[in-house]
């Protein structure tokens, strides 16, 4: 059964630190599709037929690319697995244009979060959470996973992707804000060790944050637009990264060191994920173009 082979493949890859959430679901769907056709090895025709069920060409290319990666791996053990040709083209994952908050928008957002109706503790929780995202650039999942033991005198210990941990220092104002929240938080649910909790005294989930973000954004007139860039909770992280790069001045060596430090701080597994911000934000590209022009005219970049 190909479903068993896929389960084996996912187990091995996940043991290496890969989460394979969406990818795993796609491969399990393909395996069920193949088993129904009594194909217990990767068959090119069946793979192309399954991938063709995607609603768009990029989606079909992605579906088939997942099967191709899976087949390449499994062929090392069993050559009966066929390697489908990329008939829908090469998979291209274009990152959307990031939404960058202004300082005023962040202040209004945090203030509006404190005024959430239902319960004052809920307002304190989300205003503190959104402020923390804005001043640290944490992922939403990293913030909701924080526990008391992760708050140390030097900052926050973040358990990120691929089971790696990093230290995120806190500005004294952010540290004071966290401790003010914890004074209310400890008495509300003393037996739960997650920092951010819901009114049910349970840990917050990322989808709770996304739902509340949408409510607060609508309240301050920052509604989701039909075309990018669109504000999301991840926009706090984008804004932090862009402002950090905009504040960098000096020689090329200093900029390179700054970029490496920022990549480590953000927990990027590959530095090109950090360099993406240079091309994603017009203001940063304009700065680069001006530096290049100065260099070619004989000045210092």
**Catalytically active residues, by annotation:** 139, 161, 234, 237, 268, 277
Distance of CA 300 to the CA centre of its chain: 36
Among the residues of the chain, which ranges form H helices? 2-15, 21-36, 44-51, 57-75, 103-114, 120-136, 140-144, 172-188, 206-219, 235-246, 252-266, 272-280, 282-296
Cis status, amide bond into 229, omega within 30 of 0: yes
CA distances from 141 to 107, 152, 197, 290 (A): 22, 19, 13, 37
Residues 6+ apart with CB under 8 A from 218: none
CA distances from 169 to 60, 103, 175, 238, 255 (A): 43, 21, 9, 18, 21
CA distances from 297 to 251, 286, 292, 293 (A): 17, 17, 9, 6
Interatomic CA distance for residues 150 and 31, integer angstroms: 40
């Amino acid at each position: 059964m190909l479903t068993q082979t896929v389960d084996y493949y996912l187990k091995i890859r996940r043991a290496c630190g890969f989460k394979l959430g969406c990818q795993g679901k796609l491969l399990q769907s393909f395996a069920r599709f193949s088993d129904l056709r009594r194909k217990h090895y990767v068959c090119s025709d069946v793979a192309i037929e399954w991938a063709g069920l995607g609603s768009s060409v990029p989606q079909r290319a992605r579906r088939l690319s997942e099967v191709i990666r899976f087949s390449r791996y499994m062929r090392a053990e069993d050559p009966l697995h066929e390697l489908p040709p990329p008939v829908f083209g090469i998979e291209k994952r274009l990152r959307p244009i990031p939404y960058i908050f202004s300082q005023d928008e962040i202040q209004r957002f945090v203030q509006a979060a404190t005024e959430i109706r239902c319960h004052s503790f809920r307002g304190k929780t989300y205003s503190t959470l959104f402020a923390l995202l804005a001043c640290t650039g944490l992922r939403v999942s990293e913030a909701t996973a924080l526990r008391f033991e992760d708050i140390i005198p030097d900052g926050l210990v973040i358990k990120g992707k691929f089971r790696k941990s990093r230290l995120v220092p806190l500005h004294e104002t952010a540290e004071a804000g966290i401790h003010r929240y914890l004074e209310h938080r400890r008495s509300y649910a003393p037996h739960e060790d997650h920092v951010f909790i819901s009114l049910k005294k349970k840990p917050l989930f990322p989808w709770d944050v996304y739902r509340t973000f949408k409510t607060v954004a609508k309240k301050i007139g920052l509604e989701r637009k039909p075309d990018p860039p669109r504000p999301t909770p991840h926009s706090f992280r984008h804004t932090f990264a862009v402002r950090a790069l905009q504040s960098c001045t000096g020689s090329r060596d200093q900029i390179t060191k700054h970029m490496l430090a920022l990549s480590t701080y953000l927990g990027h597994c590959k530095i090109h994920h950090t360099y993406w911000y240079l091309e994603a934000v017009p203001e940063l590209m304009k700065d680069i173009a001006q530096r290049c022009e100065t260099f070619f005219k004989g000045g210092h970049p």
